[in-house]
Structure 1
Amino acid sequence: MVCINCKYEHDSNFCPNCGERSEVPRITFKSIFSNGLSTITNMNKGFLFNVKHLCLNPNGIVNDFLKGKRKSIFNPMSFLIIALTVYLIVDAMIVVKANVSGNKINPKIYGVGYEAGRFMKLYLKYFWILSIIWLSVSTKLLFGKYNYAEHLAINSFVMGQSILVGLVSFVITKLNLLFNPFVYISIIWITYQTFKRKKRDLNAFFQSVGSTLLFFIQLVIIVVLIGILRS
């Protein structure tokens, strides 16, 4: 028989060249649902696999991915997008009342803040996906080691997991991602665990703090500029 995926001729249940099944079952509603759910909930591969290992062993999962051991690891960009999507769903369900009055502060400052906040609300998903660009600039500057594309992959893991941490804390504190300290603590911790060279690496810790601080400063500058341009 000929493999439907790579056209390799064989007589096994699985293609020895690419691993595709010899007999591919027809698509049904059940298969769509079960395969989609498995991608999210499977602890041996998929989304929750990433969550588990980024909690327990960030260095291991990130380095495995960079070295090419990727079969069980959920794509980091997809991981980031799904984590952010879950956050947006929860954010839409929870109404947070603003407690700042525009009459109590400078109208210009209020206008800048209002427009920046409005922009963030409208384009939150794109803002945080693009934020890995700035985080990768920070980690590349302070750690070097990998090329920029690899830093983007690393920080997709970091940001995806940190958004999930931000989600849990958001439910309790009602703090949005930009000013949620738990998000930045998570970024520092995962970055440190990923880049440390030994069990206790003070240099890597301070580099992690520095890169996260630089990242936060970049975000604030971008948000302020957006507010100024839109006000």
Structure 2
Amino acid sequence: MICKNCKSEFDFNFCPECGQPSKLKRIDGHYIIHEIEHVLHFERGILFTIKELFINPGQNIRNYIFENRSRLVKPVIFIILTSLIYSFINHFFHIEDEYIKYQGLEKSALFKILGWMQNNYGYLNIMTSTFIAIWLKLFFKKYNYNFFELLIMLCFVQGISMLIFSFFAIAEGILHVKLLNLAGMISIVYLTWATGNFFEEKKAANYVKVLMSYLLGMITFFILILAIGITIDIITKH
């Protein structure tokens, strides 16, 4: 037989080159249930990933990078999924309407850019993580993590941050009490602790450098966004 995935010849139930089965089962209700169970499975799915990232983020992320990449949910999938959860809750309860206002910017390119960012937190988190990773690389040179390893770490911890916001967004939507500011503070504490834990948990100076990296990364990112918005407005007006 010829593998429909990698085009190799094989005589078994599964291709020895890529693992593709010789015959795919039809998609039915059992298949859908199995896929949902696979994602939510507490042993290796998203619930397990959340638990491990809350309990011991540094060790678990280091294990993912250097030893075993099958225990945790893929980091990019994790950040996009958790961001979608928050976006859904936010749109359902209209939480951010009370916090984010762009008065006077309605006709600017910056308004459209900020609006897109607010509706696409998954992509936004990945973009901001790239800037934070640059500053982490500068502050933590001696640890020899490359840029992409730092980006993977940030996808995991930013995903937990999104779940923290999701929890408080649900509470605010139900109780009608403003809680997102509290969520922001708890999120910053978690991000600082988890990232410092990734490098070396017993060094207090690391947590200061981590916090500076997050602040400088966010500032750098939004300065760039502001510059892009102003540039587009200048060009379009001419």
**TM-score normalised by L of structure 1:** 0.76
Give 2:118's aligned residue: 121
Aligned match of 2:86? 87
Structure 1 SS opposite 2:73: coil
- The amino acid across from 1:206 in the alignment is V
Is 1:205 aligned to 2:207, yes or no?
A: yes
CA drift at 1:55:
0.3
**Among 183, 187, 191, the residue aligned to 1:187:** 191
What's the offset of the Cα at 1:66? 1.0
Q: Does the 8 Å contact 2:79/2:125 carry over to 1?
A: no
Asked if 1 retains the 8 angstrom alpha-carbon contact of 2:76 and 2:155, the reply is: yes
Percent identity between matched residues is: 21
1:151-162 to 2 correspondence within 5 Å?
151-162=150-161
CA distance in 1, matches of 2:205, 2:162: 25
Quick check: 1:36 aligned with 2:35?
A: yes
In the TM superposition, what is the alpha-carbon distance from 1:134 to its structure 2 partner?
A: 1.0
**Counterparts of 1:109 and 1:141, CA distance in 2:** 37
1:32-74 Cα offsets, whole Å, 9 max, x none, are 3223212321111022221110001112211111113112221
Matched residues, number: 220
Q: TM-score by structure 2 length?
A: 0.74
The answer (yes or no) to whether the contact 1:132–1:156 under 8 Å persists in 2 is yes
- In the TM superposition, 1:124-139 aligns within 5 A as 124-139=121-136
Q: How does 1:26-175 map to 2 (within 5 A)?
A: 26-96=25-95, 97-98=97-98, 102=103, 107=104, 114=111, 117-144=114-141, 145-171=144-170, 172=172, 173=178, 175=180
Kept after mapping to 2: 8 A contact 1:14/1:22? yes
For structure 2, the 5+ residue unaligned runs are: 173-177, 234-238
**Change beyond 3 A, Cα 1:124–1:230:** farther
Q: Equivalences for 1:7-26 in 2 at 5 Å?
A: 26=25
Q: CA deviation at 1:194?
A: 0.9
